[in-house]
Structure 1
Amino acid sequence: MKRFLIYSTKIFVITILVAVVLDGIYTAIFLQTKNRGKIEDVYNSTPKKFDVVFLGSSRANNHFVAQMFGDKGLKSFNYGMSGGHLFEASLLLKLMIERKYAIKNVILEADLNLSNEDEAEGISALFLPYIHNSEMIKEHFSTEDNFKELYYIPFYRYIKYGTKIGFREIFFGAINKKTNQLDNLGYHPLEKHKNGNMKNNIANLKPLPHNKYYEEIRSICKANNINFIAVMTPMCENVVGMNYFEKVKKAYPEIHNYENVVVENKYFSSCGHMTDEGAKMFTARIIKDFFNK
């Protein structure tokens, strides 16, 4: 029995040591990666200056054509993250402020994600390599149910979210393999597909009366003298439950409703995401309404 306990203790200690070493190696690689994605780009960056920064989900990533702002002499970047929620948008803005970004305007896509305060695990996982290096990230995750496991158990986060921050990502980060996330100033254009999903039902969605992360973004902008512009972006003409946008406007009267600026199906890749042509029409309207005065 004594031998078994000693053997078991050795195995446990070795396992912990290996986990600590692997955790350190993985984290060290993430701390020098800059060309893989938007989160790494911000976290490992030096101070930057922007006239306009875009935040939100894929409905920001695919809808705001940053180069059109550049053509007007406005330095901008689209930090929308496909699959992301306001949880991640708020944290990304916090990191920009922590990195001393000078931002004049934040345009936030705020519509469908106002209905929840959940983290989008596939996107939030991309912040976790830095959880021991950033008080901002630690604090943001501190209220999540699995925070203690993620923070205190070495290498656990890399195992749990292996498809996002596991060996494959480490390998590509180590060899500096670039992705397309930072191309086109962060904007990701879409094409029209004959099999695109052109039906959507949002009748059961309800905006929260005080979305925590929306309020955080607005407060951060106010505290840092950033002009805050929140907008609802277009959806195709087949959507059921479009009165959701009226509910948003009632709960958040400061949010500008642009859901009907582009409606024809021919301008949509799927019901919630415009093609490049539709995005350019929408972006032109945003520039006209807010930056041509």
Structure 2
Amino acid sequence: MQKFILFSAKILLVLLVLMIVLDWSYTTVYLHSSNRGKVENVYNSKAKNYDVVILGSSRSNNHFVPELFEKKGLKTFNYGMSGAHLFEASLMLKLMVERQYSIKNLIIDADLGLSNDKESEAIAAKFLPYIHHSQIIKDHFSGQKDFNALYYIPFYRYVDFDALIGFREMYNTLTNKPTNILDQQGYHPLGHKTGNMKNDIRNLKPIRNKYYEEIKETCRKNNINLIAIMTPMCTNVKGLNYFEKANKIYPEIHNLENAVEGDQYFSSCGHMNDTGARMFTKIVIERFFETK
């Protein structure tokens, strides 16, 4: 029995050492990459200067065209990420501030994301390689139910989120396999082939959102002009009074939900195609950046 216990202890020790080595190896790869995704691009960057930074979900990523801002002399990058919640947007902003980004204006889609203050696992996982190297990331995740396992068990996060930051992504990062995520200053245009043009958001309820409050406070402390916008949806949506309810909680959010109308300008009910996005961006520029 004593031999069995000793043998088992040795096996466990070997596994622990292996997990530590693998954790260090994967993390080292991510710490030396900045060209595959927006999270690593910000994390592994130094001070940058922007007139306009765009954060949020796909309703930012697909709706704001940096090229049109730049034509007006406004240095711009779209850091919106499809699938992201305000949880990730707030964390991205805090990392930018830590890296001494100079940001004059921050545009964020603050509409459907107000309905929850949860993380988006698919996007939040992109921050996890850096959790032992960043107090900001550690603190941001500290309230999540699986924080202890993610933080204290070596290599656990890479196994738990294997499809997102596991071997395949680590290998692609190591070999500098290119992506188009950072192309067009982060803007991702959608095609003109229409998808589902029906949507029902009656079950969504806007709340006083913890992470939107964080974004507002970060902007206030760092003298960043926050422009929170509700972006368009197609006309065939049930529950459009959601946007009015959101405005009752946050009157400062600019409701531009109906700024672009017509299904020909949408790729799906919640996302405009490139033509619609360019129309919408011009409206935003005229409203918030044109000199009167």
**TM-score, normalising length: structure 2:** 0.99
Alignment of 1:242-281 (within 5 A): 242-281=240-279
Looking at structure 2, the residues matched to 3 and 282 of structure 1 have their Cα atoms a distance apart, in angstroms, of: 72
Q: CA deviation at 1:231?
A: 0.4
Q: CA deviation at 1:192?
A: 1.7
Looking at structure 2, the residues matched to 268 and 3 of structure 1 have their Cα atoms a distance apart, in angstroms, of: 68
Looking at structure 2, the residues matched to 95 and 234 of structure 1 have their Cα atoms a distance apart, in angstroms, of: 29
Q: CA deviation at 1:204?
A: 1.2
Does residue 112 of the first structure (1) align with residue 107 of the second (2)?
Answer: no
The alignment partner of 1:189 has SS state of: coil
Q: CA deviation at 1:236?
A: 0.3
The alignment partner of 1:90 has SS state of: helix
- Structure 2 residue runs of 5 or longer lacking an equivalent are none
Assess if the C-alpha contact under 8 Å between 1:35 and 1:177 holds in 2.
no
The alignment partner of 1:5 has SS state of: helix
Alpha carbon RMSD of aligned pairs, Å?
0.6
Looking at structure 2, the residues matched to 286 and 65 of structure 1 have their Cα atoms a distance apart, in angstroms, of: 10
Letter in 1 for 2:275: E
Q: CA deviation at 1:220?
A: 0.2
Task: Give a deviation string over 1:35-80, Cα, whole Å, max 9, x none.
Answer: 1100000000011000000011000000000110011110000000
Looking at structure 2, the residues matched to 205 and 21 of structure 1 have their Cα atoms a distance apart, in angstroms, of: 44
Alignment of 1:163-174 (within 5 A): 163-174=163-174
Letter in 2 for 1:9: A
Q: CA deviation at 1:263?
A: 2.0
Poorly superposed stretches of 4+, deviation over 3 Å: none
Q: CA deviation at 1:286?
A: 0.3
Looking at structure 2, the residues matched to 263 and 142 of structure 1 have their Cα atoms a distance apart, in angstroms, of: 42
Match of 2:200 in 1: 201
Match of 2:231 in 1: 233
Letter in 2 for 1:98: E
Match of 1:4 in 2: 4
Letter in 1 for 2:199: N
Match of 1:68 in 2: 68
Alignment of 1:108-147 (within 5 A): 108-147=108-147
Looking at structure 2, the residues matched to 249 and 192 of structure 1 have their Cα atoms a distance apart, in angstroms, of: 31
The alignment partner of 1:77 has SS state of: strand
The alignment partner of 1:184 has SS state of: helix
- Structure 1 residue runs of 5 or longer lacking an equivalent are none
Match of 2:22 in 1: 22
Looking at structure 1, the residues matched to 248 and 171 of structure 2 have their Cα atoms a distance apart, in angstroms, of: 48
Letter in 1 for 2:64: F
Q: Which is worse superposed, 174-183 or 56-65?
A: 174-183
Q: CA deviation at 1:193?
A: 1.6
The alignment partner of 1:105 has SS state of: strand
Looking at structure 2, the residues matched to 122 and 250 of structure 1 have their Cα atoms a distance apart, in angstroms, of: 30
The alignment partner of 1:192 has SS state of: coil
Letter in 2 for 1:20: I
